[in-house]
A and B are shown apart, each in its own frame.
Chain A
């Protein structure tokens, strides 16, 4: 097929991707946007297939069938609460695809491939001119090296993120020396890239890049956990895009570059939003530990004798006379699968003429927008989901705030306790409301490991127990009143 036609169709695909993301700026146009994007993908794939001069489609068909089945099953069976795991896995596969493409291109140009492990230590007499004329050859090799590096880091990093979110891996291991150890690994991997560029036939260099990058991905993500996961997932999302764009440079393919850079920026912007919402730098999230705080804060001192607990029925009595209620969900709501129960409680309140809104902190849950998806699943209208900046001024006029499974994002220490590890982090000012109800299993600290003075305040009631059960009991009591 005429390469001009192919590139023209790639342009159309690129436009459809852009329109697709533009559709995502409004919930109403989002479904159509996603369809347009998928149409662009179909066009790009079909024109590529028509353009390949091959007699052997067996590898392609096998890959598409296996991938299609696995992808469909994953997408249709995954629970909304497990969406962070799904996205982490998809990121990893994207990185893995870029990695293998760059390797395939490398061995294609070399024209020979190792037949056994012994061949991996051989060095072939090939110079960069095989990859392009003059500087172009060098640049092509740099692109291959970087694609392999970033693709491999994305692959193993995402698999670790998945294992942590799925709670298959609970402990945190890191390289001795933390950031310095990781830095040394990165420098060694980059040095291997340089060796490979200077002597492209040196298979040892390529094997070294792959091995170091795979390990680097492991060591980068393993020490990170819990509430920092949204940042890691967003960052790996960005890597998968950058790897795709680099693969576009390797193959000289325009649509890969357009799509890859869109994904790369998307991930970076989300990473930035998450970091701002935690008042931490990216370096701090990736390499730092939550400081243990200047002086040790004694939880007993804060809580002793000041915490009031209540039964769901008592909360229902309080709700009866309320005019405005704000629900603040956190990861605990996802863990308890309580989103439908929460919606039913909100329905019961609205039936009594109570105004109900949801206050959503940007880092609530385990990925950006996690709470919104769960509440959308429970058919909560998205207009009722209010961002932090808009909900905060309304707390003073709110009769009852129900905090379910959220902790650090409501901790007033972030506002008041200078020197506290979370000082300066923007929070939901739920303590400004007239009454606060916190549904929680116990007084155990959240991810930051800090006690929450909110729980000891005079106008706070603690409801201990399973989130879903407590909410259902509140609804029942409210309906009977």
Chain B
């Protein structure tokens, strides 16, 4: 239970931090912000790895894990690459 409360505290504080950070992003960068945060939400890859790599689990768990790893990797790789492509265009003058 103690851990759960700590996780909840982390969640709530992160929400407040998110509001503070995101409101400072200028409208001109809103599209890269979306694709960039999309890449960050690919952090589910961490959870996917845990699921795909679990030994002795039913086959179904490993298959679900494989799907999760694939989708999350697309999110991470695609998200960061496309964000970088866009931001590079903003950088040059």
The residues of A with any CB-CB pair to B shorter than 8 Å are 13, 17-18, 20-22, 24-28, 30-31, 33-35, 37-38, 41, 44-45, 48-49, 52-57, 59-60, 62-64, 66-68, 70-72, 74-76, 78, 80, 83, 86-87, 90-91, 93-94, 96-98, 100-101, 103-105, 107-108, 111-114, 134-136, 139, 233-234, 237, 240-241, 243-245, 247-267, 269-270, 273, 360, 362, 367-370, 372-373, 376-377, 379, 381-382, 385, 387
Once A34-B87, A63-B73, A270-B30 are accepted as A-B contacts, the answer to whether A252 and B39 lie under 8 Å apart by CB is no
Once A104-B65, A267-B37 are accepted as A-B contacts, the answer to whether A67 and B89 lie under 8 Å apart by CB is no
- Judge whether A24 and B7 touch: CB under 8 Å: no
Specify the chain A residue showing the minimal Cβ separation from B46.
A48
Inside 8 A of A104's CB, which chain B residues have their CB?
51-52, 54, 61, 64-65, 68
Specify the chain A residue showing the minimal Cβ separation from B52.
A59
Q: List 18 A-B contacts (CB under 8 A).
A: A21-B21, A21-B36, A34-B36, A45-B45, A75-B81, A86-B78, A94-B75, A255-B46, A257-B7, A262-B22, A262-B37, A263-B38, A265-B22, A266-B22, A266-B33, A269-B23, A368-B27, A381-B93
Once A18-B21, A258-B10, A266-B33 are accepted as A-B contacts, the answer to whether A86 and B43 lie under 8 Å apart by CB is no
A215 to B75, CA, bound (A): 23
Fill in one digit per residue for B59-80: 1 if any A CB lies within 8 Å of its CB, else 0. 1111111111111111111111
Inside 8 A of A96's CB, which chain B residues have their CB?
67-68, 71
Number of A-B contacts (CB under 8 A): 374
- Judge whether A60 and B10 touch: CB under 8 Å: no
Once A67-B71, A261-B18 are accepted as A-B contacts, the answer to whether A114 and B60 lie under 8 Å apart by CB is yes
- Judge whether B15 and A21 touch: CB under 8 Å: no
- Judge whether A257 and B34 touch: CB under 8 Å: no
A113 to B60, CA, bound (A): 6
Given contacts A67-B73, A90-B75, A98-B47, 8 further A-B contacts (CB under 8 A): A97-B71, A100-B64, A101-B48, A107-B58, A108-B54, A241-B41, A255-B46, A368-B33
Inside 8 A of A78's CB, which chain B residues have their CB?
82
Q: Of B25, B40, B48, B60, which is within 8 A of A107 by CB? A: B60
Once A94-B75, A265-B19 are accepted as A-B contacts, the answer to whether A372 and B80 lie under 8 Å apart by CB is no
Inside 8 A of A41's CB, which chain B residues have their CB?
39-40, 42-43, 45, 76, 80
Specify the chain B residue showing the minimal Cβ separation from A135.
B1
A35 to B91, CA, bound (A): 14
Inside 8 A of B34's CB, which chain A residues have their CB?
87, 233-234, 237, 266-267, 270, 367-369
Inside 8 A of B30's CB, which chain A residues have their CB?
270, 273, 367-369, 372
Shortest beta-carbon distance, B44 to chain A, in Å? 4
Shortest beta-carbon distance, B75 to chain A, in Å? 5
Once A41-B39, A54-B54 are accepted as A-B contacts, the answer to whether A25 and B24 lie under 8 Å apart by CB is yes
Specify the chain B residue showing the minimal Cβ separation from A277.
B27
Specify the chain A residue showing the minimal Cβ separation from B58.
A113
Once A54-B53, A101-B48, A258-B10 are accepted as A-B contacts, the answer to whether A71 and B77 lie under 8 Å apart by CB is yes
Q: Of A25, A30, A233, A243, which is within 8 A of B90 by CB? A: A30
Inside 8 A of B86's CB, which chain A residues have their CB?
80, 83, 373, 376
Once A263-B38, A368-B34, A373-B31 are accepted as A-B contacts, the answer to whether A90 and B53 lie under 8 Å apart by CB is no
- Judge whether B19 and A269 touch: CB under 8 Å: yes
